[in-house]
């Protein structure tokens, strides 16, 4: 009863205070972008050139990934299905509202206002994906109030990191391998490191999955799998770059899926497939190809990256996750280090190799569109010649391939460092007693937070299926 009263007071307090602050900030700071402002339109405006028609299809695809894909995937625990889906819904809505404001000040601020368009929403959903990936590390071990506080802290750290990396380091990261996957992973690991629960290393009776919860989680995987090409290509340069991004993502996902089925049977003691592998390892290719997704890496390389990412992810689940829990105080509940950390590192290395090998012989003049910061500076005569071949080509920084590769390395390690420190600080905040973290006994349980149906106690009384483990993940 004490915990119910605490939630009854705390959750509405945090939500309503946040909404009042958000409403005030939106009223003071947010207005329409040019493409959404009626006053900016005139008789010469062509409606079909509105950015809506370019950005909205990608926005809707990412929406499906955020709210349905992640939501279903996180519902794999037999007694925490409500928490997995509903808290995903809560955190996602909160994160997007907050990210529109925070990212707006860094990326979309003009004449004293944040200019709001569909592209802002799409960018905010990438920030939301970061939060949801980090959420996977502490799934079932945190209260909804803790999750909202984590979101409140993580979004600004991410937005500042994103701004610094894109504005000053100026890297190529079309699929978000550095700024989404690595940041989210190491932020989440930093949080779970501080929130370490020794008793959970020996397992928990409520950690088990169920037949129907596993099927539901697999539906989430399928939604993520189908829409992942949109996620990887949404922010790429329109045209052939975006075309390649879609092709590479599909090829990498396909190869990682086949490899996951084969490895799941091969590494199983009885030669049977493990549902957790199908739910998670099949997605590894979408991450591994991310950093080089819009580059001329060849379809074969995309296929190979899917296989490599799948192998790393599978071995991580089997061997690295238990090691980190026992020896490094990192209880990675959803194995985000395998699906987003290890594969993100492979993706970054592949992207660096692709940058080093990129040449005009392979790309033609469009080399300086794909790698905009390698374009000649404005005063360089070569820039004028290139503009004759590609009208509208913007001047760059004149970087060499090796210089661009070094900036990629700096961004990778800098992002990991900032994310880990930010996660540790956030974890320390989440440990404050008044945030009402669930006790060890109440982890992975919907009952402290939801009015559960009458058959819930019957489900809770069932024995955990033999061999059921916490290998299901984001």
> Measured between alpha carbons, how far is 199 from 203 in angstroms, rounded to an integer?
8
Residue by residue, DSSP assigns 121-149 as HHHHHHHHHHHHHHHHHTTTSS-HHHHHH
> Measured between alpha carbons, how far is 220 from 295 in angstroms, rounded to an integer?
29
384 in any annotated domain: no
For the segment 237-278, what is each residue's pLDDT rounded down to a tens digit? 999 999 999 999 999 999 999 999 999 999 999 999 999 999
Contact 327, 164 (CB under 8 A): no
User: Which residues sit opposite 389 in a β-bridge?
Assistant: none
Residue by residue, DSSP assigns 310-330 as HHHHHHIIIIIHHHHHHHSS-
> Measured between alpha carbons, how far is 58 from 246 in angstroms, rounded to an integer?
12
For the segment 413-457, what is each residue's pLDDT rounded down to a tens digit? 999 999 999 999 999 999 998 888 999 999 999 999 999 998 887
- For 73, 273, 441, the CA distances from 334, given in Å and listed in that order, are 10, 19, 19
Average pLDDT over residues 131-148: 97
- State whether the Cα torsion 261-266-269-272 is positive or negative: positive
**Token pair 């690991």 is at which residue?**
189
> Of the candidates 296, 293, 289, which has an alpha carbon nearest to the alpha carbon of residue 361?
296
State the chain's maximal CA–CA distance in angstroms.
Answer: 76
The pLDDT value recorded for residue 203 is 85
Residue 419 burial (CB count, 10 A) = 26
Is pTM, for the whole model, over 0.75? yes
> Of the candidates 340, 313, 396, which has an alpha carbon nearest to the alpha carbon of residue 176?
340
Q: Domain range holding 134? A: 2-37+51-357+400-461
370 in any annotated domain: no
380 in any annotated domain: no
376 in any annotated domain: no
For the segment 385-400, what is each residue's pLDDT rounded down to a tens digit? 998 888 888 999 999 9
- Domain at 277, CATH number: 1.10.3430.10
**How many domains is the chain built from?**
1
Per the model's pLDDT, the better-predicted residue between 458 and 373 turns out to be 373
> Measured between alpha carbons, how far is 185 from 341 in angstroms, rounded to an integer?
6
Contact 316, 260 (CB under 8 A): no
197 in any annotated domain: yes
Confidence of residue 3 (pLDDT cuts 50, 70, 90): low
240 in any annotated domain: yes
Instruction: Give, to the nearest 10 degrees, the angle between helix 52-64 and helix 118-137.
Output: 20
- Asked if residue 467 has pLDDT above 60, the reply is no
> Of the candidates 439, 9, 468, which has an alpha carbon nearest to the alpha carbon of residue 197?
439
Contact partners, residue 95, CB within 8 Å, separation at least 6: 124, 127, 128, 131, 132, 151, 155
* Helix (H) / strand (E) containing 457: helix 456-461
> Measured between alpha carbons, how far is 101 from 151 in angstroms, rounded to an integer?
13
90 in any annotated domain: yes
Contact 292, 237 (CB under 8 A): no
Return the CA Rg of the chain.
23
> Measured between alpha carbons, how far is 241 from 247 in angstroms, rounded to an integer?
10
The pLDDT value recorded for residue 80 is 95
For the segment 303-339, what is each residue's pLDDT rounded down to a tens digit? 999 999 999 999 999 999 999 999 999 999 999 999 9
The pLDDT value recorded for residue 460 is 64
Residue 295 burial (CB count, 10 A) = 27
300 in any annotated domain: yes
Contact partners, residue 218, CB within 8 Å, separation at least 6: 275, 278, 279
């Amino acid at each position: 009863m004490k915990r119910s009263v605490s939630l009854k007071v705390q959750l509405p307090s945090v939500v309503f205070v946040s909404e009042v602050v958000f409403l005030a900030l939106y009223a003071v700071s947010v207005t329409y972008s040019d493409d959404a402002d009626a006053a900016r339109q005139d008789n010469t405006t062509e409606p079909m050139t509105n950015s809506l028609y370019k950005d909205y299809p990608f926005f809707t695809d990412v929406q499906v990934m955020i709210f349905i894909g992640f939501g279903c995937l996180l519902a794999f625990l037999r007694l925490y299905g409500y928490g997995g889906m509903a808290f995903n819904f809560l955190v996602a809505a909160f994160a997007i509202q907050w990210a529109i404001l925070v990212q707006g000040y860094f990326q979309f601020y003009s004449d004293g206002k944040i200019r709001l368009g569909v592209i802002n929403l799409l960018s905010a959903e990438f920030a939301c994906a970061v939060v949801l990936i980090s959420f996977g590390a502490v799934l079932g071990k945190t209260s909804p109030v803790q999750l909202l506080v984590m979101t409140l802290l993580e979004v600004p750290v991410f937005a500042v990191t994103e701004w610094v990396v894109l504005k000053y380091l100026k890297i190529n990261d079309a699929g978000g391998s550095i700024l989404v996957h690595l940041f989210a992973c190491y932020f989440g690991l930093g949080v779970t490191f501080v929130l370490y629960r020794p008793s959970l290393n020996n397992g928990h009776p409520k950690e088990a999955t169920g037949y129907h919860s596993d099927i539901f989680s697999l539906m989430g995987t399928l939604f993520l799998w189908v829409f992942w090409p949109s996620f990887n290509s949404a922010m790429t340069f329109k045209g052939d770059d975006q075309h390649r991004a879609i092709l590479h993502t599909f090829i990498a996902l396909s190869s990682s899926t086949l490899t996951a089925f084969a490895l799941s049977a091969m590494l199983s003691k009885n030669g049977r497939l493990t549902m957790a592998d199908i739910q998670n390892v099949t997605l590894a290719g979408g991450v591994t190809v991310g950093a080089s997704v819009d580059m001329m890496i060849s379809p074969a390389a995309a296929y190979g990256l899917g296989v490599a990412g799948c192998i790393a992810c599978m071995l991580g689940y089997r061997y690295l996750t238990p090691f980190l829990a026992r020896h490094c105080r990192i209880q990675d509940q959803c194995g985000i280090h395998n699906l987003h950390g290890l594969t993100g590192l492979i993706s970054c290395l592949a992207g660096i190799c692709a940058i080093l090998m990129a040449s005009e012989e392979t790309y033609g003049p469009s080399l300086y569109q794909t790698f905009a910061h390698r374009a000649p500076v404005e005063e360089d005569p070569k820039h004028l010649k290139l503009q004759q071949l590609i009208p509208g080509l913007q001047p760059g920084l004149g970087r060499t391939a090796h210089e661009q590769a070094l900036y990629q390395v700096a961004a990778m390690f800098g992002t990991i460092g900032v994310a880990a420190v930010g996660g540790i600080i956030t974890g320390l905040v989440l440990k404050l007693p008044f945030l009402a973290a669930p006790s060890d006994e109440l982890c992975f349980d919907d009952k402290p937070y939801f009015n559960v149906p009458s058959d819930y106690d019957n489900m809770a009384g069932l024995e955990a299926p033999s061999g059921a483990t916490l290998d299901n993940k984001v």
